Chains A and B, each alone.
Chain A
Amino acid sequence: MTKELELLGSYKLVLGLEVHVQLMTEQKMFCGCSADIWQAEPNTHVCPVCLGLPGALPVPNFEAIRKAQLFGLALNCTLNQNSRFDRKHYFYPDLPKGYQISQYKQPFCENGHLDLLSGNVADIERLHLEEDVAKSLHEGGKTLVDYNKSSIPLAEIVTAPTFKTLDDAVDYCKQLQNIARSLGISNADMEKGQMRLEANISLRTADMEARNELPKYKVEVKNINSFRFMEKAVLAEVVRQRELLEKGETPKQENRGYNEATGKTVLQRSKEEANDYRYFPEPDIPPMFFDEVYINELKSLLPELPQQMKDRLVRDFGLTKEVAHALVDLGGKDLAEKFEAIVKKGNEGRKVANTLLNKKETLEMTVDQVDEMLKKSSEVINDSAAISAAVEKAISANPKAVEDFKAGKQNAVQFLVGQVMRETQGKAAPDVTRGLIVAALEKKSAQQL
C-alpha cells in the first residue's frame, strides 16, 4: 500500500478486472467429453465438437449454465430471463472453430457488486459464460496444441473500473475465489489455470477522481496467473503511465504484457491492431428463456456465502470482524466449518477462534481433539449462582434477543450463550449456561404474557 502510494505520487489508480473462472462440471461446455482434464494425456478428452470438425454442433451444458447463474446470484447480480450465446471471432491455433462461443449482448448475469474489507464496494458489470480455448505448447520451434482444455466451461466476471487500490483488487479476487469454492462450482486454483486475471489499468488526477471522471485510455494486461503477478504488473504500469503523464503525454490504449525478468510491461497490441471480433448470435444454439420459477428455485439453492457466514459468526458468537475474516476468508471453508463443529460441542466461540487461529498445531487436529484440548484447559464454572448473574446481565442488556426468542429464533439462545461466555471469559459451563438462559427466557416470556 505504501509503495503503491509512493509510486502513484499525486495520481490516483483506476483499475478494473476481468476474471476467468473455470467451472467444475462433469462434461465440457458444449459436448459430452469429460471435463476432468487435469494431468490427462494431451488430446485424450476430445470429440468432433470440441475439435471443431466440419459439421459438428455445440449443445449447451445446462449444469454449466446453472453454476454460472448461481455464481452470478452470489455476486448479487440480476439474472437475465432472456439470454443467448454469441460467436466471437479471431484466429489462433488454440481456437479450433475460428470463433469462441461466448456471450455478448445478453449475458446470464448483470449488475452485481461485492462488499470489500476496506468498506468500498466492487461494482460488477456482468458475468457471462464461454468456452475455454485449447492449450498451445511451444517446443523446439514448433507449436503443439492440446485440445483437452478446448470447450471447458469458463465464467468471465467483468468489473467496472471500480478499484482505487491494489488491496481492494486483491481482496475482490480472493473473495471471488472463496465464493466459487463455497458454491462448489470451481476450485479457482490459479496455479492450475482455473482462475486467470486481466487488469485494465489507468491513472487520473485527484480532481478527476473527485468528479468521478474516468481517464480517456486504459491499458490491458492479460494472462495474469497470480495475485503477486498482478501487483507487480499494476505497479509497473503505474510507474510507466505516471512518467508519460508527467511529460504531458496520454498513454496509448493498448494491450501490454508483464515481463518478470525486467519488471516492466511490454507492448503486445495497439488499439489500431485490436481485433474486430465480429460478434453475432450463435445460430447453432437457440436463445434461452428462464422463467421466474426457475430463478427463484436457483436462489433457494444458494448456500450460505462467505460474507453471510462472517456476519453470522460476528452476530452469534461475538467474534470481531477481523477474526471472522481470518476464519472464513483466509482459512477457507474447511476452517470455518471446523470452527462451527467445535463450538457445537459446547465451547465458547471466541476461545475456539483464538485457539484455531493462534495454535498452529490445531490445524492437524480433528474436531474432537481440539474440543478435548479446550475442555481440559478451561477451569469450568459449574456454579449456577455464579453463572446466573452473568445470564441476568446478558438478558437485560439484549432485549432484542428476548424478542427473537419469543419469535421462535433459536439463534437468540446461542447469541446469549456467547454474551455470557464473553462476560465469564469463556469459563461458564456451556450446558449449564444454556439451561439457565432458556429458563430465564421462558420465565420472561411468561411474565410478559
Chain B
Amino acid sequence: MKQLNELTIIEALEGLKQKTFTSVALTQACFEQIEKYDDVVKAFVTLVKDRALAEAEEADLLINSHGPEIFEEKPLLGIPYACKDNYSTKGVQTTASSNMLKGYIPPYESTVTQKLKDAGAVMLGKTNMDAFAHGSSTETSDFFKTINPWNKNKVPGGSSGGSASAVMSDMCIFSTGSETAGSIRGPAAWCGASGFKPTYGRVSRYGVVAMASSTDSPGPIAKTIEDASYVLKIIAGKDPLDATSSPTEVEDYFANLNNIDLSKIKIGKPKSYFEIELEPGVREKVEQAIEKFKELGAQIVEMDLLSPKYSIGVYTILQRSEVSSNLARLDGIRYGNDRTNFGFESKKRIMLGTYTLSAGYYDAYYSKAQKVRTLIVDDFNKAFNEVDMIIGPTMPCVALNLGDPEKSPMFGELMDVLAEPSAIAGLPGISIPCGLSDNMPVGVQLIGKHFDENKLGAVAYAFQKATDYHLNKPNLEGLK
C-alpha cells in the first residue's frame, strides 16, 4: 500500500473523488516527507505550509459541497505540487535561487501558477535550481546544493534539479520545471522522473524569470508521463500576456494517451546522437528501450541528422546573449541587492553575452548563430518529413558526482548536448526513465514536431504501460 505522498496525480484524484482521503491528509503527507528527508535532499528553497494547508482545506470544502463534478471545473483540485523558484508567485518569495533576488516577493502571479491555482492545485513551496537556471546540476544555486535522491553524492541535474528531486523523493505529487535546453529533460532523466518539455510558445512564459527568452519553455516534471500530460493540458495555451505564446489549439493530451496505433508510428534514430561519447550503461539502456518500441510495433529507422555538437556553439552564444540582456534589469537599484550578489556562473554568462552582442562582434557571433539555428530548424523539418518523432538518449551519462560539474566550465552545454538541437529549434521533447545503470536512472527522450505533444505523449505512455522503469524509486532511508 502506497503512502499518500507516493501517489501519482491520477491515483490521488481518484482517492479525493472517492473521499478515501482528504487533500489536507495528502498535503500533510507531503510535508511529513519533506520534514523527514529534505534536510538531506534539499529540494526546497521556500516552504509555504500554512498557505498550502489552507488551500487544501478549501479544496476539501469544495469537494464536500460540490461532489466529484467539481473536478471537471478544477482538474487538479487538492493536488499538492512543488514549484520551481523561477515562477513568479504573488506574495511568496521568488528568487530563481539567486542572492540577487533574495527577499523579492512578487506582486504578481505567473500565468502557469495562476492556471494551476485556478485548477485547484496546492502549492507546497518553491524548489531549488541553478541560480537563474544557469547550469545543469543545481549546484550553481546561490543557497545550497540539492542532491540526487538516488545517491547523496550525485547531482540531480539541472536547472530544475529541486523539482525533479522533490518528485522522485515523493515530497510532492508533481512539480513544475522550465527548460531552456535540457533543464526539464536532464534532471528528469538523472532522477528517474518523467519530464515533458513542450513546444516553445505552447506554455506561457509570463512570470517565469527569463533565462533565454527565445527558448524558455515551462513544463511539468512528474512521476509518470500520464501525469505530465495531464498537467500540460492544463497549463498550455495562448496567453494574451505573452506575445510569443501560440494560438494553436490545445489538444487533450491526457484523454488522447491511448489514442494511438504504434504500428503506424515511425521513429527516427539519428546516427549522430549515438556517435557522440555515450556512457556504455546509457547506450545499453537506450538501445533496449528502442528494442521495446519495436516490440510494441513502432517502426524504427536509422537516419541522418546534423550532429548535435553544432548546437553547442549556437546555443551557447544565443543563450548568453539573451541572458546578458535579461539580467540587465537587476542593476542593483531595485530589489535591495547590489550586483556583487551575482554568482560566478551568472557573471561569466553576462560577460560572454555582453561580448557577443557588442558592436563589431554581433555579426560574427549572434547573427551567425541565428543563421546556424535556421539550418538546424530546417534539418529537423526535413527529418520530420520522413519520421513522426526522433529517439535518443536524454543525457550522455548518468548523474555525475557533486563537484564534478564545477571542474568543467562548459559542463552544462556538454551534458545538454542531446537536448540543445531540439531546444533551439523550439521542438517538444519528453524524457522518461528506461532503466538503471550503476543503480542510477537512465532517461530516453522522444523529440516531436512542433505542437505534436499529443502523439509524443501517447507514444511515451505506450512505453510506460508496457514497462515498469517509471516505478523505480530511490531508497531514501539510504541517504541518511
Contacts and interface: CB of A to CB of B under 8 A. Distances in A.
Interface of A: 47-48, 52-60, 87, 89, 91, 93, 96-99, 276, 278-280, 283-286
Contact of B206 (A57, A99, A276, A285): A57
B208 A284 contact: no
Contact of A283 (B208, B214, B358): B214
A93 B332 CA distance: 10
Contact of A89 (B208, B212, B325, B333): B325
B108 interface: yes
Nearest to B359: A276
Interface string B10-49: 0000000000000000000000000000000000000000
A55 B244 contact: no
A87 B324 CA distance: 12
Contact of B357 (A280, A284, A285): A280
Contacts of B212: 283
Interface of B: 86-88, 94, 96, 101, 104, 106-108, 110, 205-210, 212-214, 240-244, 321-322, 324-325, 327-331, 333-334, 354, 357-359, 362, 366
Nearest to B95: A54
Contacts of B210: 54-55
A57 B242 contact: yes
Contacts of A279: 357, 362
Nearest to B110: A55
Contact of B243 (A47, A97, A285): A285
A54 B354 contact: no
Contacts of A284: 213, 242-244
A87 B104 CA distance: 25
B333 A93 contact: yes
21 contacts: A48-B107, A48-B108, A53-B88, A53-B108, A55-B87, A55-B88, A55-B110, A56-B88, A56-B207, A59-B242, A59-B243, A60-B243, A87-B325, A89-B357, A96-B334, A98-B325, A98-B330, A99-B325, A276-B358, A278-B324, A283-B213
Given A48-B107, A53-B88, A58 B243 contact: yes
Given A55-B209, A91-B331, 9 more contacts: A48-B107, A55-B207, A56-B108, A56-B206, A57-B205, A93-B333, A96-B334, A283-B213, A284-B244
Nearest to A48: B108
A98 B107 CA distance: 20
Contact of B329 (A52, A278, A285): A52
Contacts of A87: 325
A286 B214 contact: no
B325 A59 contact: no
A56 B107 CA distance: 11
B244 A98 contact: no
Given A54-B209, A55-B207, A284-B243, A98 B331 contact: yes
Nearest 5 CB-CB pairs, A to B? A98-B328, A283-B213, A278-B357, A283-B214, A55-B207
Contacts of A285: 243-244
Contacts of A59: 240-243
B357 A283 contact: no
A54 B101 contact: yes
B207 A278 contact: no
**Of listed B210, B214, B325, residue having the most chain A CB within 10 A:** B325
A34 B362 CA distance: 37
B179 to A, nearest CB: 16
Nearest to A30: B243
Contacts of B321: 280
A54 B322 contact: no
A97 B244 contact: no
A89 B354 CA distance: 10
Given A56-B206, A56-B207, A60-B243, A91 B329 contact: no
A145 to B, nearest CB: 8
A57 B88 CA distance: 12
A99 B328 contact: yes
B358 A278 contact: yes
Nearest to B206: A57
